[in-house]
Structure 1
């Protein structure tokens, strides 16, 4: 996994796994909604959607804890296999005309598997990417894969529902999930990076809620989380409303919801290209703002005409949804530590299931009070207003990233930190503190305890007694930390210098926890120690 070719192979396998799994997810979602509508009407669509979503929301914190403790690739394979089993049972239950309540219970079990599968795959992305730019591209590819799965499901499952009914569609979804599990077995082993030492051991409950603690600690995560919550609530309401709109208002039949949502999938594919453009121009805050407003505009327009207008309006809805969902997902590795990343993504799953589930329960009331067309327009206008009120928080999301990019570049240029995986590198970026010194000032004194590793951003320093002058991009102070000895030399500033300091615990946890980095650091130390000191 350390070579570029191996990482790219791992990314392709990951995207293939999610394409199969997500196609199965949306095929089942569509088939279940249509089956519930035909059997018991609009209210049943909301109830089975809630049954499909809400139990998964309760299971997500535990799922996130598993993702942060187990081999993520093997966990993904196990979750996909469990989903395949549930879908096979549901297909049989529909074919045998089993009670809707039994199908809802099986759908709840299936949902718990999804709350493991998606965070496990998402948490693997930063480790398989080598840089923030590569991670941005991988996030865009994830968005394209996500939308492709949705598009395939809407077109294929929509046609399958019209021709054969729900049971065969769910059976195909079961096969796709099984193949996804087999693909996940081919992913490279990606155990989570160990957390830094904590003063006290965590209780199981506190450990499971690590995602909430990360949100509380890192305020910048709150804006994308809030935006995603509102978006998923509207996804839940619109999912039910669109079924009613397609079948009742537009007269498109049982295959109508799938055909209608083809526009949503096309929009998601467009968003994967647009995301990279927005990230290059401004960053994640702009992507979230544009995505939310575009989604709201599509929601307002979707019920304003016939079938062609509805399909066309779903294109901007797909663009906006993918921009917000992928933008929120992609910003997590920059702001949250890998040791809790699975639990942060699991918190997203809580929202995905919980907010969407609540929305699906509210949807029948909106349809009853306003009708499907007006209900969609009112919720879209409300979301646009909320987005404009949050625009300043979104703009602040990218504050300080130019500085962070400089620190990443410095770390990638040092032998000891260059081999580190991106999640560990991001831990170091968050852990540095600025240090400045005037010309002639002593930064380190031989014989004193070593507490920091220093990285020079500007200026030059002299390693006294060793006839060495180092400058921008160089580091010093690692010998005392790695060998646990006093400082071996005095370091003096030759001119005004600006540096970044990494504390002992953060530096050692990173370098000694990754074999390639440890070997490189040891080589550097041996090279320094073998140089004779000047008299």
Structure 2
């Protein structure tokens, strides 16, 4: 893509996000929190390497990730049962308390590292539900799928900036101040993030309100159903399973990188363990570039293909480092890997948001986070013995080759996924129905895909007065006449709709609707229609139906 086109597309996508004050506040809250997180993670990594070497780093990383993986489904259930705002505020507050306690402990000068390990692990547990709730909130704040893609791309770009700024800031503060100072900074960033979240106005309702098609993928009551709802949604959809498998492969490498970056800093750059902050900053530079590219491509909606490309670029540069382990090759390779990271993350988030109902979205993200965190933990655990057995160069080959193969083999299926995610033809009509406007974009698309097209010749009745009612109709083209007991009530054209009266009040058809010219109508079944309007401002639907009845039609 030419540089000029990238800049134009990036500016357009950013402008769409900036114009939406709620999206803007959530983005700022995210980047503020992430900068503190990455700074804190760098400081804790350096500290762990200092007290215990590479094995301590691997163990701490694996334990933190494993704990987060186990608790992510439980936390996601809570996130789907309270407002997104509440979930973000509570998790941020708890993490601030835990990191503050770790800072206070280090200030005392105690030698035992285990309290810091425990507090850091507990704080890490709440990182996954924070991100799940934030990502699940985005569809309710965006006005359409393109704005949602742009918002996710903006989040990816800001996260890329955090990946660059956070480790650099953490490494600098470790050198000029102390590890407790970095932890204290993280507490401040949590407080700022919470203030921004409080000011978000839209999307504050409980996300589990009834009325979204497919919001109960595991029928039946009980805790098990709640905990497995996200896994069930992913398991029932082959495309989601494929996406999850690819990103699991990528996160395996990500977990391994928590260990091998420290070794590369020492063996290739010739620095001490503190050099990992420099390598993390290099990743951040690449991530900024990748974030801008993702922003530029947001309007193209090539989500599956871009995700596969991002996974591939997470692995191939590591093979270059294995072949030519020099500082220049290492820096270039990490810039490419960093650029691939937002490409994967942003397209993953948008795919999930477009394909899952809002009522279970946090649980789907929680289920995926469990898988990804588990593979990260596995990667960090595998890397330590690999380094001992075969050295850093062959270790990179062992972890990179399978990931590259997975990404390359998935390209055809990911292209088919892009076709599936293309906006359905009836989506603009769905978005113009007053009560459907209140639905999340993913639900609107689900409804639009459920529409059944019917061509009606001139003079033929679409529905007849007194007949049973099982469909709500939108007029795609043409013109119809509405009559009752032989009296003409009104005429309707493209963009209008009819049939809601009988469905809302559960009565036979109250009027006959006849095509005045060749007409195309799109039908939405009773169950889909009633599910979509239930739990929403149903009074709006009933008001429209009552008004038409009052005027006899």
After TM superposition, is the score higher than 0.5?
yes
Q: Does 1:484 align with 2:506?
A: yes
SS of 2:272 mapped into structure 1: coil
SS of 2:81 mapped into structure 1: coil
Instruction: For 1:163-202, list aligned pairs within 5 A.
Output: 163-188=176-201, 189-196=204-211, 201-202=220-221
Following superposition, the deviation at residue 165 of structure 1 comes to 4.1
SS of 1:68 mapped into structure 2: helix
Following superposition, the deviation at residue 76 of structure 1 comes to 0.5
* Residue 4 of structure 2: aligned partner: none
Instruction: For 1:27-426, list aligned pairs within 5 A.
Output: 27-95=39-107, 96-188=109-201, 189-196=204-211, 201-281=220-300, 283-302=302-321, 304-402=324-422, 404-426=423-445
Alpha-carbon distance in 2 for matches of 1:125, 1:266: 26
Alpha-carbon distance in 2 for matches of 1:134, 1:481: 33
In structure 2, do the counterparts of structure 1 residues 431 and 13 end up closer, same or farther at CA, with 3 Å as the change threshold?
same
Alpha carbons 2:34, 2:162 under 8 Å: kept: yes
SS of 1:390 mapped into structure 2: helix
Following superposition, the deviation at residue 216 of structure 1 comes to 2.1
In structure 2, do the counterparts of structure 1 residues 103 and 314 end up closer, same or farther at CA, with 3 Å as the change threshold?
same
Alpha-carbon distance in 2 for matches of 1:200, 1:363: 41
Following superposition, the deviation at residue 235 of structure 1 comes to 0.0
Alpha-carbon distance in 2 for matches of 1:302, 1:330: 31
What does the per-residue CA deviation read over 1:198-251, in whole Å, with 9 as the maximum and x for residues that have no partner?
Answer: 696421111111111111222221222111111111100012100111034322
* Residue 474 of structure 1: aligned partner: 496
SS of 2:126 mapped into structure 1: helix
- Provide the TM-score with structure 2 as the length reference: 0.88
What does the per-residue CA deviation read over 1:294-317, in whole Å, with 9 as the maximum and x for residues that have no partner?
Answer: 222332234534334322221110
Alpha-carbon distance in 1 for matches of 2:443, 2:525: 15
Following superposition, the deviation at residue 495 of structure 1 comes to 5.4
Alpha-carbon distance in 2 for matches of 1:193, 1:473: 30
RMSD (Å), alpha carbons: 2.6
Following superposition, the deviation at residue 174 of structure 1 comes to 2.5
In structure 2, do the counterparts of structure 1 residues 280 and 245 end up closer, same or farther at CA, with 3 Å as the change threshold?
same
Following superposition, the deviation at residue 146 of structure 1 comes to 1.3
Instruction: Point out 4+ residue stretches in structure 1 off by more than 6 angstroms.
Output: 4-7
* Residue 450 of structure 1: aligned partner: 469
What does the per-residue CA deviation read over 1:497-520, in whole Å, with 9 as the maximum and x for residues that have no partner?
Answer: 5433223343234335333x743x
SS of 2:20 mapped into structure 1: helix
Alpha carbons 1:124, 1:190 under 8 Å: kept: no
Tell me the matched-pair count. Answer: 527
User: Where does the alignment leave 5 or more consecutive residues of structure 2 unmatched?
Assistant: 1-15
Following superposition, the deviation at residue 129 of structure 1 comes to 0.3
User: Where does the alignment leave 5 or more consecutive residues of structure 1 unmatched?
Assistant: none
